Structure 1
Amino acid sequence: YPRPQLTRDNWQNLNGSWEFAAAKAGERPPVGRKLGEKILVPYPVESQLSGIERHEDRMWYRRTFTVPKNWKVGSG
């Protein structure tokens, strides 16, 4: 591993299908509404592998996940 001091014993891979939507400048976050498209992370939005295949200057991504109960969340 190139930086062994940065390895983690516990981690969760967030790659996979995420909700996606194009955004406009100054648009408020789309809280409480489903985003209309799906994107495959970690691929760039312009790539065929992402499933979007177009350029967007602004965009929203959303995915929910569960933090394992035995993980410490936050600092301190």
Structure 2
Amino acid sequence: MSRIALFGGSFNPIHNGHLHLAQTVHQQCGLDRMLLMPSGTAPHKSSDAYAPAADRLAMCRLACHVPAGSGALSLAGGQRL
């Protein structure tokens, strides 16, 4: 059975702190995969404070060196991007 972790966050924008945390958890927990999932708008923040959802997903793909169209996770709400 694969050991997979899901790391959700706004990633607005994704930064080295996010990547360091993901890498550390991946290594320390002996995971097979660490999946990043950009979330929707937090209830305590204005939606104007966020980059568009597709842009945040693209930033995650670029930061993690994941090619576009490779079955990335969707944002909250069940939409695939």
Q: Settle same-fold status: TM greater than 0.5.
A: no
Instruction: From the two aligned structures, give the one with the greater strand fraction.
Output: 1
- Shorter-chain TM-score category? under 0.3
For the pair shown, which has the larger CA radius of gyration, 1 or 2? 1
Q: Which has the higher helix share?
A: 2
TM-score (normalizing by structure 2):
0.22
**TM-score where L is the length of structure 1:** 0.23
